[in-house]
């Protein structure tokens, strides 16, 4: 139906369009997101921070820590926690 040179031109065109779309999407983020974002559950995050599950649930209810809810399930983005941790460092540390 199409000759191979036409198909190559079309493939190249679409690949370039996808690359440009990826650039536009990534430009919307502040660069703190990595390609290795992992979803963590309550027990993983509470162990990571050395706090109880109940304390973590309380922080979620008070909206003091970034989290996502899926029905009754609470999960955490590793990238969001990393960004939040850096913000907490800045809030809680003052150079003298």
Sequence ranges of the domains in the chain = 1-30, 39-92
User: Does residue 39 contact residue 75 with C-beta atoms inside 8 Å?
Assistant: yes
User: Does residue 79 contact residue 34 with C-beta atoms inside 8 Å?
Assistant: yes
Q: Is this structure's pTM higher than 0.75?
A: no
pLDDT of residue 69 exceeding 90, the answer is yes
Q: Where are the alpha helices (DSSP H) in the chain?
A: 4-27, 42-49, 53-61, 78-92
pLDDT band at residue 5 using 50, 70 and 90 as cut-offs: confident
Name the phi and psi angles at 74, rounded to 5: -110, 130
CATH class for domain 39-92?
Answer: mainly alpha
pLDDT of residue 94 exceeding 90, the answer is no
Structure tokens at 78: 């590793």
Structure tokens at 21: 């779309």
């Amino acid at each position: 139906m199409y000759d191979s040179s036409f198909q190559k031109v079309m493939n190249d065109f679409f690949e370039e369009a996808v690359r440009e779309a990826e650039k536009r999407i990534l430009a919307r983020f502040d660069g703190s997101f990595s390609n290795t974002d992992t979803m963590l559950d309550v027990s993983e995050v509470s162990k990571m921070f050395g706090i109880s599950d109940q304390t973590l649930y309380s922080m979620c209810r008070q909206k003091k820590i970034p989290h996502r809810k899926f029905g009754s399930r609470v999960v955490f983005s590793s990238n969001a926690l990393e960004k939040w941790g850096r913000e907490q460092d800045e809030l809680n540390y003052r150079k003298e």
